[in-house]
Homo-oligomer: A and B are copies of this chain.
Amino acid sequence: MEQILPHLDSVFSIDCVLFGFDGKELKILLIERNEEPFKDWWALPGNIVGPDESLDQSASRILYELTGLRGIYMEQYYAFGDPHRHPQGRVITLAYYALIRLGGEKELRPVSNYAKRANWLPITDLPKLAFDHQKIYDKGLEKIKRRIKHQPIAFELLPEKFTLTQLQHVYELVLGKKLDKRNFRKKIVSFGVLKELDEKQKGVSYRAATLYRFDKRKYAKLFGKEISF
């Protein structure tokens, strides 16, 4: 393709805020940088958008390269473009978030050499972040707080089968407040997007809870209508 458009020395990248839930805490994926600037600092994983990929494709590729994960619900939420956000030149970055269930089983795939390591860190105790990544993270958290109230994204943080208590726990962590158990159940069930299974929770040393599954078909019908917490 011939390039006849005006030219700017700008770079366009994508940064990902990957929220993970391990059953107890909300965490985000950070990498420890191996290169200047901000060598040895923690940063959001991100990369440059390739010339022939769409933004969503690029975000998926980046997520895959960083975690080995595919098929994750991801959405762009804000573009950051302060001319001085990167000390070495103009970098406009588009932020995506993803919600991920953290299972003990999955190891993080080794990340390219610009990172020393990658780690899931609890959001309650984050280190100082490189560049303007704190701002990007803050806006991301704000975004999912807003979104979890209106769209069924909480399920992405949970295993396929989950208990209502686990689901409530996710809502409480994201929204940052306690919810009433009975009212929560009443409401979430009334949306009609949960399918009650014949199975029970296993391996707990107390009464086992009923397992549920998110019913995508029912949700598709509901789509457009707003839910609200």
Contact = CB atoms under 8 A, between A and B. Distances in A.
B8 A51 contact: yes
Contacts of A54: 81-83
Contacts of A92: 12, 49, 55
Interface residues of A, number: 34
A2 interface: yes
**Prevailing SS type, chain A contact patch:** loop
Interface string A1-30: 111111111111000000000000000000
7 contacts: A1-B89, A4-B88, A8-B11, A8-B12, A12-B92, A51-B83, A76-B78
Given A10-B12, A55-B92, 6 more contacts: A4-B88, A5-B89, A51-B90, A53-B83, A54-B81, A54-B83
Interface of A: 1-12, 48-49, 51-55, 58, 76, 78-83, 86, 88-92, 94
